[in-house]
Structure 1
Amino acid sequence: MKKTGYTLLLFLGLTTVLLAQDQKFTLEEIWGGAFRTEGMDALHSMDNGKQYTVLNYDRSTRSTAVDKYDYATLEKIETIVSSADLEGIQNFRSYQFSDDEQKLMLATEVESVFRRSTLGKYFVYDLQTKSLSLISENRIQEPAFSPDGSKVAYVFENNIYIKDLQSGQTMQVTTDGKKNEIINGVTDWVYEEEFSFVRAFDWNADGSEIAFIRFDETEVPEFSMDVFGQSLYPDQQVFKYPKAGEKNSEVSLHVYDLAAQTTNDVALEDAYYIPRIKWTPDADVLSIQVMNRHQNDLKLYFYHSDKKELDLVLHETDDAYVDITDNLTFLADNSFIWTSERDGYNHIYYYDKKGKLKNQVTEGMWEVTNYYGYDADSKKIYYQSVENGSVNRDIYSIRLNGKGKKRLSSEAGTHNATFSTDFTYYINSFSSASTPYRYTLNDAETGKVIKEIVNNNQLNEVLAGYEMSEKEFSTISVNGNELNMWMIKPADFDAGKEYPLFMFQYSGPGSQSVANRWNSSNDYWYQMLAQKGYIIVCVDGRGTGFKGADFKKVTYKELGKYEVEDQIAAAKKLGELSYIDQERIGIWGWSYGGFMSSNAILKGNDVFSMAIAVAPVTSWRFYDTVYTERYMRTPQENPSGYDDNSPINFVNNLKGDYLLVHGTADDNVHVQNTMRMVEALVQANKQFDWAIYPDKNHGIYGGNTRLQLYTKMTNFIDEHLGDRINEDFMAKQQLD
């Protein structure tokens, strides 16, 4: 008898598997949206704390509406605005209230630029006069109301503009904006991707000033991508992309005074990066977060715009790196709430306005995973954490002094909350591996469910007719660590048989793939593979998140070393199970996961017989500065860290079957990664399969693209891992 090598923690799944549940999943259903879940879109709590609004879409009229509901009854009170009643707008994608909730900004004709950035035409709808006005004839970026709702600031062609909604006049704040050279008020590519924000300007509390970041990317190297399209000659997209070790944008911070129409420069001598700016409740005090290039030295400054003075308020350092968050919250007196890993786990801290620590609010060998806000009346903080197991998420409240902690959620799974403005209620989104998304209205004091708002019972009824396997959560002991794992077996699993093993992972720093939440599209694909006779496993190795800073940061300066060792060791241990065919073990991943699966089949060529890599990094020398240097420092400082873990340098080890996939318009992980990998494989005289998707970005989607891609991957798995089970599956299908 072979040792199992893992300890079962919990067993989650459907309550029964009926004989009638024998319908098979198809790729056409999975990628055609047959198993889509219902949810709540663009939820906004009104200032009175008694009502909320959501964005609703009417498929019959193809119109959108902002509808208002009552928290206590969940009844719809009114439709605030519907595109069906607006001339010239068929529908709008999003909405934004002014602070006084008397105006709405509606986004139309929105087109993506990169991952988070968009261009669009925006209208302002006045709730009192029922009038609609266009902000600009041009497609603009990141429009934002002034605090009193009388103005809108926005960016057009890398310059900042302010429109007075009463007079209709537009004032240009900056004039030096130029494509691929100077950007004002929105971020460059690498800030958008890695610091996760686009709007780089902020109104102060009384609307008298706007702070903004200026990016000088003149000396940043350019990257170009061919766009093949339908024309006789391809176009070319050229943008600034700083690869590891190369020059970044030079950033500077400025404050524009609306009354004087003057711009003041903020002197920040140590600001290599400015990842966050935010005005405090004091209209004259701006908070600024700055970092060094290594991202292991973070400073929080207060800039006093009236006195033109700068105070250092908080300084955090780390041997590896300091993460940036959006959790900074100011109280009325400019004291503030902050999250940090300073004790080895991510927790909440409370500081006075001078930056003196008043108290650590949460503590323990677990992580705060989301910060929801602070209720000044009850002096309570609301947050999400993994205290109930790192694969789960629960909602808690705690007083500002760190006392009176209360768990508000109860069911094991993933809870996420959206609180009313006055923190009387919250709308809870809950799911688990066995429960599709359910939205309920909850009491913020007790966590008690008041009413159900949305469920996915209809989806459950649909899935009742399918042969589904349970997702088993456990841990596996690998390299001195208990690693989180899930496993999906065929519904008719027989421990006396041997099954091929197909592993999935992402593995990036701070990520999590083993989580107790409802299915993504890939999960239905795994169910389909299980129906065919595969066992599917996912293991979160060292470097992944929510198990403490040491566990996460062990991969510092060695991306692709310890994570790969863990996947190889896990595959070996699983291969010892009596029901796993250790000659047929495959692995796949996308992006960082593709980097990992490539390394796994090369460095673990005696373990993995096949691998699929989609949009992989093949050398961190090709990836951007902010992400790569955060975890690796520069190639000049750490050449061995880059080269010893680059799949390109180990192609001679390839023995198994390898499928390489990339989109040519991937602005994130450039197709250059795959092309260099292909050339290395060719020169090593290694046979492999590959697929290129013209004009597709990092997500590789659009039309039938995902269906075609997953059909290709399924066929590849069947051909190289399936062997005997493929014939058995076809024979069983004919009998059925």
Structure 2
Amino acid sequence: MPPNTRSSESFPRQHARTQRFTLGAPRSFSVAPDGSRVTFLRSPGGDARAQALWVHEVNGDDAPRAYPAADPRALLGGAAEELSPEERARRERSREGSAGIVGYATDAAVELAAFALSGRLFVAELRAGTARELPSATPVVDPRPSPDGRRVAYTARGTLRVVHADGTGDRPLAEPEADTVTYGLAEFIAAEEMKRSRGFWWSPDSRRLLVARVDDAPVRRWWIADPAHPESRPTDVAYPAAGTPNAEVTLRLLDADGRDADDGPGLDVAWDRETYPYLVAVHWSGGGPPLLLVQARDQRTQQYLTVDVDSGRTTPLLTETDPAWLEIIPGTPAWAPGERLVRVSDATGARALHVGDAVLSDPALHVRAVLDIGEHDVLFSASSDTTGEVAVHRAALDGSGGGRVSGAAAGDAGGTTPHHASAVRGGDTLVLVTAHLGEPGARAEINGHLVPSFAETPVLRAAPTLLRAGARRIPAAVLLPTGHREQDGPLPVLLDPYGGPHGQRVVAAHNAYLTSQWFADQGFAVVVADGRGTPGHSPAWEKAIAGNIADVVLEDQVDALHALAADHPLDLTRVAIRGWSFGGYLAALAALRRPDVFHAAVVGAPVTDVRLYDTHYQERYLGTPQEHPEVYRANSVVDDAGLVGARAPQRPMMLVHGLADDNVVVAHTLRLSSALLAAGHPHEVLPLSGVTHMTPQEEVAENLLLLQVAFLRRTLGLATDAAGS
């Protein structure tokens, strides 16, 4: 048992204290191109939030030599970390709940790293294992060294700045012309929905930068207040709700030495922004000219563009279309040797890896991300027909084949077990991070050598049964109370889904089921089902919700429940559902639209009026509310037709929402509560003061689990014994 594990502690307390068992685990790996050095982040214990930057020197077949290159406790002299509003927003978009060094960037050789800490700029010399602060403007956000390691670019108050690595010559490269303008930062939509968290990119020769200019003046303003602190001003948030204007995003080429045109900073990069307003991805490497991926607002058409760095003109390389939408895949677009475009496309009916004109992935695979592009092959992650598995695969660039790279679990020498894996590579060094059903946490290995993890071992053991349910073979997991016997009879049922886009819950990883197992141990049979709309199955599976989210996702939860009841001890007279975010939306749908199936619901941070959610997400599935008002009404929990209360019987609901949530704002829950009250529908509301869409506060995270169990026991007519073991 790790030293910080407290054997007498309850699971809710440990789960909250350890940030869902993520603290102390190594993460965010980078590998030097020659394979000689690996960097990563890790906190010193399973309940320590402040992460340090570590280096592993790779020494052939010998175990790597490991040392910390930057420790936030030493760099801040023991002072508490201070976060700027910009950094808080950035962490919220990335769902980052830890502290200290939460992100870093390196030069091309992985010899110099840069990071922000308490709004200040630091660099670490990775070979020497030393770190120092550089004089800078503040608060610093997203510092990135130039590929040659001689300079560091960063943003501060919307200005893109650059400073020499020795701390001299700090100066602005592009300054905002108005309060609504920023340079070098990702806009809300890019960070929240497009998987693009950055807003500037160095040229391979370190002479220039491509920089995003964002003007959110057109975006409508919302004001988010904390009623528990009426003395504080509301926060002004530029939130692009469905059907409303987005921020204006352009790109500029800037000279790193500040030698720009006389008529303004940099050279504008021109493309058809009227047709393709979304800047999805930027790639600039030595493999070819800068690559852009731009997308139409309806996300059914996108273009890959190359940029002429002398004129700023762009040339279309490829245009893609899809009748539903085009999915954004991490690691793409990029160049393979020979200026061959690397992309992932659904055009063949499978989500396939394309390099140039060739399809390199097996048709049975569903590609999830491109991980590394080498001289001779591509590493990528992909799902297969194995329930819950995400494996790392290799494809040879010459089309000669490939195969699976990840596989065997600990103690399964030479075997292959279902797992969930990712990888990072440089030269001959491979970092493989793998989770299995049979062991807690994940194993991180450098060329087969284990990287120590300080994450705690959970006080309970999850024992999910993974299977496919019903005629549609819906991926599902069933969890029963520890020690449950067949003669114990049927159990009240708790559905515990996410159930929507980008949220796969049925995965071959032990820790993914810990909370579900805890609920099972409180006396429930817990069902987790990934119906249509969830990732990891096939493009057709994901896109089955186009134009009709609500009916499809709810139907699959009901079908999975009924199919599993034939072979599992499920008491269909006592069925509850719980969920957060999309899962909260699904839980509300279940209680309101199918009270014949569901008898209680815990509804966490739900989107209840889909017109109030953001453009890039909501319009992808439903179009705009101006073009399809009837679709928006049909897919909202609260709608103009008065759905709430129109069907009997009425099922009890617990509504939970963070008052500081700037992603799914609390207006969603307040509007639902008002509609329920008007209909005389029994419900209770739990407002969380100061809580965002995440719940990183320990006391909140712990007690939310306990309160949910108490509510479920009470509303399902079960014994109300104190829970929490």
CA distance in 2 between counterparts of 1:558 and 1:63 reads: 42
Matches within 5 A, 1:340-379: 340-351=345-356, 357=357, 359-376=358-375, 379=376
Describe the SS at the equivalent of 1:648: coil
Amino acid at match of 2:63: L
Query: Among residues 505, 517, 540, which one is paired with 1:513 in the alignment?
Result: 505
The equivalent position to 2:269 in structure 1, one of 266, 270, 287, is 266
Q: Deviations over 1:283-304 (max 9, x none)?
A: 8x32121111101101011111
CA–CA separation in structure 2 for the residues paired with 1:288 and 1:317 = 16
Map of 1:290 onto structure 2: 294
Query: 295-304 vs 566-575, which deviates more?
Result: 566-575
| Aligned residue in 2 for 1:483 | 474
Query: Which residue, 13, 21, 27 being the options, matches 1:28?
Result: 13
Report the alpha carbon displacement of residue 496 of structure 1 after superposing the two structures with TM: 6.1
Structure 1 equivalent of residue 612 of structure 2: 622
Deviation of 1:252 after TM superposition, in Å, equals 1.8
Report the counterpart of residue 52 of structure 1 in structure 2: 38
Deviations 1:207-248 (A, max 9, x none): 222112222221210011013565x61321001101000111
2:527, 2:120 → 1: CA distance? Answer: 45
Distance 2:678 2:74 in 1: 64
Name 1:67's counterpart in structure 2.
Answer: 55
Shift in alpha-carbon separation, 1:530–1:332, aligned structure 2, 3 A: closer
Report percent identity of matched pairs: 21
Distance change (3 Å), C-alpha of 1:506 and 1:298 = same
Selected match of 1:323 from 324, 327, 349: 327
| Aligned counterparts of 1:242 and 1:438: Cα–Cα separation in 2 | 37
| Contact 1:508/1:593 (8 A) holds in 2 | yes
Alignment of 1:76-475 (within 5 A): 76=65, 79-80=68-69, 88=77, 92-109=101-118, 120-126=119-125, 132-165=132-165, 168-179=168-179, 181-228=180-227, 233-258=231-256, 260-262=259-261, 263-269=266-272, 270-281=275-286, 285-325=289-329, 326-351=331-356, 357=357, 359-376=358-375, 379-387=376-384, 389-410=386-407, 411-422=416-427, 424-439=428-443, 441=445, 450-454=448-452, 459=457, 463=459, 470-475=463-468
Q: Per-residue displacement from partner, 1:376-428 (whole Å, max 9, x unpaired)?
A: 1xx12222222351411222222113322222333323242434410x23232
Residue 653 of structure 2: aligned partner = 658
User: Aligned to 1:234, what secondary structure does the other structure show?
Assistant: coil
Take 1:240 and 1:439, find their aligned partners in 2: how far apart are those partners?
Answer: 40
From the superposition, tell whether residues 333 and 570 of structure 1 become closer, same or farther in structure 2 (CA, over 3 Å): closer
- With over 3 angstroms needed to count, the CA separation of the structure-2 counterparts of 1:280 and 1:27, relative to structure 1, is closer
Q: Distance in 2 between matches of 1:637 and 1:419?
A: 44
SS in 1 for 2:143: strand
How many residue pairs match? The answer is 671
Equivalent AA in structure 2 for residue 700 of structure 1: T
Q: 8 Å contact 2:268–2:312 — kept in the other structure?
A: no
Output the amino acid matched with 2:29: L
Cα distance in 2 for partners of 1:404, 1:508 equals 34
Provide the secondary structure at the position in 2 that maps to 1:509. Answer: coil
Q: Check conservation: 1:663, 1:694, Cα contact below 8 A.
A: yes
Unaligned runs of 5+ in 1: 1-21, 110-119, 352-356, 444-449
* Alpha carbons of structure 1 residues 568 and 492: separation in structure 2 relative to 1, 3 Å: closer
Q: Secondary structure at the match of 1:481?
A: coil
Instruction: Return closer, same or farther for 1:135/1:630 CA change in 2, 3 Å cut-off.
Output: farther
User: Which residue of structure 2 lines up, in the alignment, with residue 10 of structure 1?
Assistant: none
Of 580, 590, 598, which residue of structure 2 is paired with 1:590?
580
Q: 2:29 aligns with which of 33, 37, 43?
A: 43
Which AA in structure 2 matches 1:475?
R
CA drift at 1:580:
2.4
Q: Which among 657, 678, 681 is matched to residue 673 of structure 2?
A: 678
- In structure 2, the residue matched to 1:706 is 701
Residue aligning to 1:546: 536
Match of 2:493 in 1: 501
| Alpha-carbon distance between aligned partners in 2 of 1:567 and 1:208, rounded to the nearest angstrom | 54
Distance 1:408 1:668, change over 3 A: same
Tell me which amino acid in the other structure corresponds to 1:517. A
Letter in 1 for 2:267: N
Alpha-carbon spacing, 1:417–1:252, altered in 2? closer, same or farther (3 Å)? closer
- Contact 1:390-1:546 at 8 Å conserved across structures: no
Which amino acid letter does the alignment assign opposite residue 400 of structure 2? K
What is the aligned partner in structure 2 of residue 7 from structure 1?
none
Q: Residue type of the partner of 1:36?
A: F
For 2:201, give the aligned amino acid: D
C-alpha spacing 1:135/1:313, structure 2 compared with 1 (3 Å): farther
Q: CA deviation at 1:33?
A: 3.5
Provide closer, same or farther for how the CA distance between residues 390 and 569 of structure 1 changes in structure 2, counting only shifts above 3 A: closer
Kindly indicate whether the alpha-carbon contact (under 8 Å) linking 2:101 and 2:115 is maintained by their aligned counterparts in 1: yes
In 2, Cα distance between equivalents of 1:302 and 1:133: 37
* Unmatched runs of 5 consecutive residues or more in structure 2: 1-6, 80-99, 408-415
1:189 shift after superposition:
1.6
Q: Cα offset for 1:94? A: 4.5
Q: TM-score, normalised by structure 2?
A: 0.86
SS at 2:553 equivalent: helix
Q: Which amino acid aligns with 1:265?
A: D
CA distance change for structure 1 residues 193 and 35 in 2, over 3 Å: closer, same or farther? Answer: closer
The whole-number CA distance in structure 2 between the counterparts of 1:310 and 1:524 is: 49
SS of 1:561's partner is helix
Q: Distance in 2 between matches of 1:94 and 1:196?
A: 15
SS, match of residue 215 in structure 1 = strand
**Structure 1 counterpart of 2:85:** none
Q: Whole-Å Cα distance in 2 between the matches of residues 456 and 132 of structure 1?
A: 26
- Aligned to 1:704, the other structure's residue is in SS state helix
Encode CA deviations 1:87-114: one digit per residue, 9 max, x unaligned. Answer: 85777555433234443324311xxxxx
Report SS of the residue matched to 2:489: coil
Amino acid in the other structure paired with 2:297: R
> What is the alpha-carbon root mean square deviation over aligned residues?
3.0
The answer to whether the 8 Å contact 1:584/1:609 transfers is yes
What letter matches 2:322 in structure 1?
A: D
Deviations 1:297-331 (A, max 9, x none): 01011111224432110111000111122322213
- Deviation sequence 1:417-455 (CA, Å, 0-9, x none): 434410x23232222222123525475xxxxxx444447
Match of 1:603 in 2: 593
